[in-house]
Structure formats: C-alpha cells, structure tokens
Amino acid sequence: MCGIVGLFIKDKSLEPKLGDMLTDMLITMTDRGPDSAGIAIYGSEAEGRTKLTVQSDAPEAAFDGLDGALAEALSSDVSIRVIDTHAVLDLPAGKAEEARSALAELRPGMRVMSAGDTIEIYKEVGLPEKVAERFNLRGMSGSHGIGHTRMATESAVTTEGAHPFSTGLDQCLVHNGSLSNHNALRRKLRREGVRIESQNDTEVGAAYLTWKMQNGASLGEALEGTLEDLDGFFNFVVGTKDGFGVVRDPIACKPAVMAETDQYVAFGSEYRALVNLPGIEDARVWEPEPATVYFWNH
C-alpha cells in the first residue's frame, strides 16, 4: 500500500503551518503505511550555507563532538542541531560532498538522509504519529514538504528503507508502488557513477531522476523519462529546491488525489488526507491522469 502526502505552499502566510498541516495529513495515512514514516521539509535557507541531515542508530555517541570533528576535517565552521536520531549539520556552501566523505571516516555507520540548501529529511521505523512526535514535525515551517507512510514490499522495514529518498542536492522522492526493473537499473546507474546506498526499489527511482537532471533534464523531463525507463507500479511525488512534481505510471492502479487553491497545491493517496486543509471545500480537486507529468515551481 503506502501513503503519500505532499504540500506545496503558494501563499507565504501558510509557510509557518507547513509542518502542522503535513503532520495531520501524514497521520491520516497511517493505515496505508504503519511500519515507518518520513518527511522531507524544504525550510529556511542561509546565504552561503548548506545543510546535511544525518541519522544514527546510536545518536548520543555519534553526534557527541561531531560538529568540532567535522569542522576540523573541513577546516571551516560547522554547527549541529540534534533532533532525536537525526542531526542537521550546517556547513559552508559547496562542502556537502567533502563533508560526506569526512563523515564516512569520522562516524562509520552514520547515514546521510539529505544534502542541500533547504531540504531536511527525517524518517524512522514506527507509527507515523510517533515518528512525527519524535522529530516535532508539527513545529516545522517551509515552502513545501512531502511525507510518506510505508507498508514495505520490496525491501526490509528499516530506517534506510523508509521514504523519502534523496540522491541529489535538495532532491527527494517518495513512492507508492513497486518497481520490477530496479536491479538492472541500479547496476546501470552505479556504472554511471550515481550513488545508490540501499537495495530498495524506490531509491533507484530517485537516483534515476537525479541522473537525468545531472545530464541536463528539467524536473518535468526527468519525470517524463520514468514512463519509458521504469517498469512497475508507481505514483511518484518529488521535490526539488523550488519545485514539486507528480507522476503516475500508465496503469495507474495506485490511488492519488490532488487539490489546488490560491494558497497551495496538495497531494494525497486518498481524499481523507486533504479534508482538513483550509478552503478544501472550494478547492479544485482532481485525480491526476495516468502517464501525465504535473509540476509546480516557486
């Protein structure tokens, strides 16, 4: 099954409420995916800085002194904000790749959830409500966000199997469905130099989009490519620094509903997820067409 929720804010006055609205939507989708949950939030940006969100199963030991150690390794200033099993490392812009290599040496076993100017990804095993509480998702603000509740099919119930997946700067993807050609595609993308960390099918979908965009495709063109190159069932909702996109496979057996008002664009696996959004009674509500790419930009 799996549940997807997404919210792309058009009216800036709603940005402080992004986390609160997405959390309600996410919890409503618990019975579509009770084993793990995750959220990508596109939050604040600081001039000349970039963010790395990391996760550890032993956060106390992993995050203790990490800012100092990383600052030394990068010879630049680094600050850390710890949130439960996750931490957001604030670095000078352009240092994300170097930091990733340094972290692999400093804290083997620690996972990088996301890297980019505005993106932060939080995901864990457990009921969506509990996951949201652990990271205080309700308190988060931002311009857009994507959430996922997981019922695992293609790989184990683990933190790294949870969505969203991020395989490029400020990019993320969530998926409802299952891909059947992910092994062959993973091998191909790895040969092309794309980093893929797990055995999960969805991560291959995310990596595919990253690879397309690295080779000059726009988000819309990359999404179009999934219709040709991916085999299986998928509803994808993707985020970039300023964009939000949706695509469904041509069979379109996985459910999807969208709503748009002057204030926001919203995605839900079911209409239930959207019912408490402001002005939903007068929103344009529709089912996205199969094999059709939708995207919005700020």
Q: What does the alpha-carbon distance between residue 222 and residue 124 come to, in Å, rounded to a whole number?
A: 28
275 binds other proteins per the rule CB under 8 A? yes
Give backbone dihedrals phi and psi of 239, rounded to 5 degrees, phi first.
Answer: -125, 145
Task: Check residue 151 for interaction with other proteins (CB under 8 A).
Answer: no
Binder among 11, 72, 231, 287 for other proteins (CB under 8 A): 287
Size of residue set near other proteins by CB under 8 A: 16
Length of the chain: 298
Residues 6+ away with beta carbon under 8 Å from 97:
none
Distance from the Cα of residue 78 to its chain's centroid: 24
Annotation says 253 is catalytic: no
Site for other proteins in 34-73 (CB under 8 A): none
- Cis peptide leading into 34, omega within 30 of 0? no
CB of 267 to other proteins, least distance (A): 14
Min dist CB 122 to other proteins, Å, is 26
Least Å distance, CB 275 to other proteins, is: 4
What one-letter code names the amino acid at 138? R
Does 285 bind other proteins (CB under 8 A)? Our answer is yes
Rounded to the nearest whole angstrom, what is the least distance from the CB of residue 269 to other proteins in the complex? Answer: 10
Number of helices (H), then strands (E), in the chain: 8, 15
270 binds other proteins (CB under 8 A): yes
Q: Pick the catalytic residue: 1, 2, 267, 294? A: 2
**Tokens coding 137:** 């998702």
How far is Cα 18 from Cα 7, in angstroms, rounded to an integer? 8
Q: Which of residues 230-269 bind other proteins (CB under 8 A)?
A: 250, 252-253, 255, 257
Q: Which residues are catalytic?
A: 2
Residues that bind other proteins (CB under 8 A): 250, 252-253, 255, 257, 270-275, 285-287, 289-290
